Amino acid sequence: MPDYTTIIGLEVHVQLATHSKLFCGCSTRFGAEPNTQTCPVCLGLPGALPVMNAEAVRLAVMTGLALDCEIPAYTKWDRKQYFYPDLPKGYQISQYDLPLTQKGRLEIRDDKERFASKEVRITRAHLEEDAGKSSHDEAAGKGDSLIDLNRTGTPLLEIVSEPDLRNSLEARAYLDELKLLLTYLGVSDCNMQEGSLRVDANVNLHIETPAGKVATPIVEIKNLNSFRAVERALDYEAQRQFREWEETGKKLGEAPKTTRGWDDVAGKTKAQRSKEESADYRYFPDPDLAPVRTSPEQLAKARAELPPRPAELREQLTREHKLSPYDAGVLVNLGRPVLDYFFAVVAKCGDAKAACNWITQDIQRTLKYRDREFAELNLPAERLGELIALVAKGELPTARSREVFEAMIDSGDDAHSVMQQLGIGAVDESELIALCQELLAANPRVVDDVKNGKQQAIGALIGQAKKKNPNADPARIRELCLELIAKM
């Protein structure tokens, strides 16, 4: 069987987090009653005049900068002819030849090193308006589609990658990193269920044959309703295209670009209407909208206001805080509020590794167990920092620190008062030695067993020690008992 390489480019549409639509003052809120968020601009009524939302442009520029894009000084709006009832004007306002941002890049990597880190080139990220929603009520048995225009005119940023991805793993990593970046920038909530983030994939194969490399016709996959669906669809489509090439021998250029829809239940892509040629959209400059000019001063200001990107934060965590790349990745993936919490805990206790462990393990576990969100966590960062510091100073035995942690969350008290309530304190070394001597005297058989090489016999004493003094550290008890027996 010949070898082939899968060539993947992704188009991601994200809804920008503005309050009002791109060209009118209607609300962008999700979930409202159908057709309650429309106006003459949304409805495409004659004489309605669109006016740009400054915030949408600001968010788009911010995203472009974060993707290392060029921001051309001059950009304009174009009409894309589009005859569907979900955009009643008969065209979509988009950007054609002069997009707001272009030629960027995004680095992707894999914690488990299943692929080498690489840079994915971004072709462009341009602004456009969203269409409405059409639904077909099968149950009612009616032949009509129902149109809801609430979403019409919502600002979308279309982020187009170059065909630099080579398999579903890389595609997933790209989407994860892009979503993380957009979330950190606060430009979108990236909620796929509510349609704030949509993905289309362009795929074809480069097949090695004895006669040289052959490319298969490009297929665009739509209906990708989750990142998992993207992965599955890409794996399926690569195999399907290979089979099709074996059967038909069709190469790129011999068949038009086709569109296929992903059926998540069937686990297959299915042919859809053929995509109109780009020229058929008959783009032309929108005479209703003024072009946008961005000055170097505006760009410098936007650059200065750009929040740190996930990649920079991971770098900071490994360099300044000496966390492993894996830990840094886990922490950054938990989101900006958790990361800020981490920084506050470290500021209090100075121990980044311990702070990271508590936050990525204990806190996540207890939130899950309590079925709560991070924002509902009843444990200020300073208090967790204090808890970590008490353990480090030896004032709180490690063995009881989790118990204190849970009690702090339950009661809302600080570590000191919880320790007092639970009767927890550091155990003096001489106290521990006395305890061990007492136990050894009462258990001569254990002493004999250990002397005969059965060290695990000590285990019987640990339980007894904990009963007599709950603060006793089991590891230290074991060490002390072995030392004392050796001297006997």
Partner 1 sequence: MAVSRQDVEKAALLGRLLVSPDELEHLTAQVAEILAYVEQLGEVDTTSVEPMAHAVELVNVFREDKVAPSLPREAALANAPHHNEQGFLVPAVLGE
Hunting for tokens 């086709």 — which residue is that? 258
Measure the CA angle with vertex 96, ends 91 and 102; round to 5°: 140
Closest separation in Å from C-beta 237 to partner 1? 18
- Determine the 3-state secondary structure of 186 from DSSP: coil
Q: Which is nearer to partner 1, 39 or 169 (CB)?
A: 39
424, 469 contact by CB (below 8 A): no
The entry of Zn ion, partner 1, none near residue 55 (CB within 5 to 8 angstroms by kind) is partner 1
Q: Which is nearer to Zn ion, 151 or 198 (CB)?
A: 151
CA distances from 282 to 23, 277, 362, 459 (A): 21, 10, 57, 81
Closest separation in Å from C-beta 17 to partner 1? 10
Q: Which of 8, 24, 156, 440 binds Zn ion (CB under 5 A)?
A: 24
Closest separation in Å from C-beta 233 to partner 1? 16
Is residue 359 at the binding interface for Zn ion, with CB under 5 A as the rule?
no
Q: Which is nearer to partner 1, 72 or 325 (CB)?
A: 72
- Determine the 3-state secondary structure of 277 from DSSP: coil
**Residues 6 or more apart whose Cβ sits within 8 Å of residue 52:** 22, 23, 289, 290, 292
Residues near partner 1 (CB under 8 A) are 18-20, 24-27, 33-40, 42-43, 45, 51-57, 74, 76, 81, 83-86, 97-98, 134, 136, 142-149, 222, 261, 272-273, 280, 282, 285, 287, 289-293
Q: Which stretch binds Zn ion (CB under 5 A): 33-41, 184-192, 332-340, 414-422?
A: 33-41
Please give the size of the binding site for Zn ion, defined by CB under 5 A.
5
Q: Which is nearer to partner 1, 113 or 144 (CB)?
A: 144
Joined together, the tokens standing for residue 210 give: 């004895």
The entry of Zn ion, partner 1, none near residue 51 (CB within 5 to 8 angstroms by kind) is partner 1
Q: Which of 12, 17, 41, 352 binds Zn ion (CB under 5 A)?
A: 41
Q: Which is nearer to partner 1, 137 or 340 (CB)?
A: 137
The entry of Zn ion, partner 1, none near residue 169 (CB within 5 to 8 angstroms by kind) is none
392, 351 contact by CB (below 8 A): yes
Q: Which stretch binds Zn ion (CB under 5 A): 22-30, 68-76, 91-99, 278-286?
A: 22-30
Is residue 39 at the binding interface for Zn ion, with CB under 5 A as the rule?
yes
Q: Which is nearer to partner 1, 37 or 216 (CB)?
A: 37
479, 436 contact by CB (below 8 A): no
The entry of partner 1, Zn ion, none near residue 371 (CB within 5 to 8 angstroms by kind) is none
Closest separation in Å from C-beta 229 to partner 1? 16
Closest separation in Å from C-beta 26 to partner 1? 5
Q: Which is nearer to Zn ion, 101 or 150 (CB)?
A: 150
Q: Are strands 4-15 and 91-94 parallel, antiparallel or unpaired?
A: unpaired
Q: Which is nearer to Zn ion, 49 or 434 (CB)?
A: 49
Enclosing H/E stretch for 293: strand 292-293
Q: Are strands 219-224 and 268-271 parallel, antiparallel or unpaired?
A: unpaired
Sign for the pseudo-dihedral over CA of 19, 24, 27, 30: negative
**Residues 6 or more apart whose Cβ sits within 8 Å of residue 164:** 9, 118, 119, 120, 121
Q: Which is nearer to Zn ion, 37 or 161 (CB)?
A: 37
CB atoms within 10 A of CB 145: 12
Q: Which is nearer to Zn ion, 89 or 260 (CB)?
A: 89
Closest separation in Å from C-beta 155 to partner 1? 10
Q: Which of 8, 12, 17, 26 binds Zn ion (CB under 5 A)?
A: 26
Closest separation in Å from C-beta 292 to partner 1? 6
The entry of Zn ion, partner 1, none near residue 41 (CB within 5 to 8 angstroms by kind) is Zn ion
The entry of partner 1, Zn ion, none near residue 143 (CB within 5 to 8 angstroms by kind) is partner 1
34, 148 contact by CB (below 8 A): yes
Closest separation in Å from C-beta 142 to partner 1? 8
The entry of partner 1, Zn ion, none near residue 74 (CB within 5 to 8 angstroms by kind) is partner 1
CB atoms within 10 A of CB 315: 14
355, 388 contact by CB (below 8 A): yes
Q: Which stretch binds Zn ion (CB under 5 A): 16-24, 258-266, 403-411, 434-442?
A: 16-24
Q: How far apart are CA 75 and CA 325, in angstroms?
A: 39
Side chain identity at residue 396, one-letter code: L
Q: Which of 159, 152, 148, 221 is nearest to 190 (CA)?
A: 159
The entry of partner 1, Zn ion, none near residue 49 (CB within 5 to 8 angstroms by kind) is none
Q: How far apart are CA 476 and CA 305, in angstroms?
A: 52
Joined together, the tokens standing for residue 79 give: 């009409």
Hunting for tokens 């074996």 — which residue is that? 246
CB atoms within 10 A of CB 459: 11
CB atoms within 10 A of CB 211: 6
41, 87 contact by CB (below 8 A): no
Q: Which of 8, 42, 391, 447 binds Zn ion (CB under 5 A)?
A: 42
The entry of partner 1, Zn ion, none near residue 145 (CB within 5 to 8 angstroms by kind) is partner 1
Q: How far apart are CA 328 and CA 150, in angstroms?
A: 40
Site for Zn ion, rule CB under 5 A = 24, 26, 39, 41-42
